[in-house]
Amino acid sequence: MYRLECLDDWKRTIHGYATIYQSPLPPVPRRPFAKEDSIFPPFSKGVRGIYYTLARHKKYSHFNFLIAICILTFSCSSPQTQQNTEAIQTTSEMIFPDEDWQTATPESQGLDAEKLEEAVQYLAYHCFEDKVEELMIIRNGYVIYQGDSVDKVHNIWSCSKSFTSTALGLMIEDGLCQLNDPAATYEPLLADLYPEVTLRHFTTMTSGYNAVGDTRWESDSSADWSWTPYQPGEPIFEPGTAYAYWDEAMMMKGRTLTQILQGDLHEYLTQNLTELIGMGEWTWGQEGELNGVPIRNGCTNVHVSARQLARVGHLYLNKGNWNGQQVISEEWVKQATQTQVPASIPVADTDRKSTNGSGSYGYNWWTNGMTTKGRFMPDSPEGTAYMSGLNHNVCFVIPEWNMVYVRMGVDGNPPEGKHVVHNGFIKRLAQAFL
């Protein structure tokens, strides 16, 4: 049975996350984070943290024949995809978009246009009605393929989780918290039932957090998505002992980060990341409020276009550096897109147990790690990582190829599982390299 990385119920599409969406507060003028903004004592950043903060705010012989025979023999017996999924030499210098992305021919970026089109048609065949209308493929910073609707803005569902973890990464740089801090240090609601749950547990889906009440979705028997996600219920498991893809846990993470920041996560990300990479206006729906401050839904409701989402992917491709400015720590990018949940960690016995991240989950990013059945995406480069959301919304980063691609839509997940479809797509992309 295929592992489905984001198997959200279709009823959620029907009801729509829009039912809990509210427009964010208007942006406020950007200013440095001041001590009086927080009820917590100031934290020491260290040299690395100070550097990144300043950067972010800165304006910015005879055996030859035998050897040859051996190489030829090995090459002929090796699958083409195995050869091509190794690091491929770049064909031009990395660039960054200004107001818009620059376009280039596939050939100028080292890909055969006809074979690229074959790969795209494979992907389109495995999509529903939106096909590849919101597909962008970018290599070395140049757009080499784009659909007709890459400016369409809509919810990216669980791709939003990667925005939440990015906010955490920035907050750690700013000295506001540490990854292994108990979440209850900042959120008193967690003190009784979840005193040992850390921010790392929330970020790797290993917290065991569960809220009081069952799903808010009519005729859905899921225990997830309670109307009261901030009312802690009995744990599903002890923290760190299992994996459960659980949206309520991400909602509580959103609230906890709001407590730490004592401010709006949307404003914080806008000032410290999206403005710096030229993403433009974007929205993030809220799930309640805290002392008058909107709590951004930690699991969903970021609304962007494919053209905008690709900028975040390009930032991660470039290890957090945007055209010379270190926007987010290189170390955070590295860790977020590497496997953080060992394959030995069992999947919790919940109604979402088909969503299995053991061996293939980072910090709210999916990774091409080693599972108990082998590599998660066996025909893809090892460094492949991606954001994943309901309705076949994905943002892939492939460092070995200097490539980012985004596919968005509102048309449902492929039944095979997104990682299965995109492994096949990437396998065909590999055959397109010249």
In a structure prediction context, what are the per-residue pLDDT tens digits for the chain, which is 434 residues long? Answer: 333 344 343 434 333 433 333 333 333 333 333 333 333 333 333 443 444 344 444 333 344 444 443 433 444 333 444 444 455 655 579 999 999 999 999 999 999 999 999 999 999 999 999 999 999 999 999 999 999 999 999 999 999 999 999 999 999 999 999 999 999 999 999 999 999 999 999 999 999 999 999 888 876 778 899 999 999 999 999 999 999 999 999 999 999 999 999 999 999 999 999 999 999 999 999 999 999 999 999 999 999 999 999 999 999 999 999 999 999 999 999 999 999 999 999 999 999 999 999 999 999 999 999 999 999 999 999 999 999 999 999 999 999 999 999 999 999 999 999 999 999 999 999 999 99
Beta bridge partners of 367: 385
Q: How far is it, in rounded angstroms, from Cα 290 to Cα 25?
A: 13
Closest of 310, 313, 363, 331 to residue 150, by C-alpha: 310
> Can you tell me which residue has the tokens 């050869």?
83
Q: What predicted TM-score, i.e. pTM, was given to this entire model?
A: 0.82
Burial string for 137-173 (b: 16+ CB within 10 Å, else e) reads: bbbbbbbbbbbebbebebbbbbbbbbbbbbbbbbbbb
If you compute the radius of gyration of the chain from its CA atoms, what whole number of angstroms results? 22
**What residues contact 191, with CB distance under 8 A and at least 6 apart?**
184
Residue pair 140/402 in contact by the 8 Å Cβ criterion: yes
State whether residue 430 is helix, strand or coil: helix
Please give the order of strands across the beta sheet that includes 283-284: 154-155, 302-304, 283-284
CA 176 to chain centre: 22
Contact 275, 308 (CB under 8 A): no
Under the phi-then-psi rule, with left for phi > 0, alpha for psi from -120 to 50, and beta for the rest, what region is 144?
A: alpha
Dihedral sign of CA atoms 49, 297, 387, 324 in order? negative
Sorted by where each starts, the structural domains of the chain and their CATH numbers stand as: 10-60+87-430 (3.40.710.10)
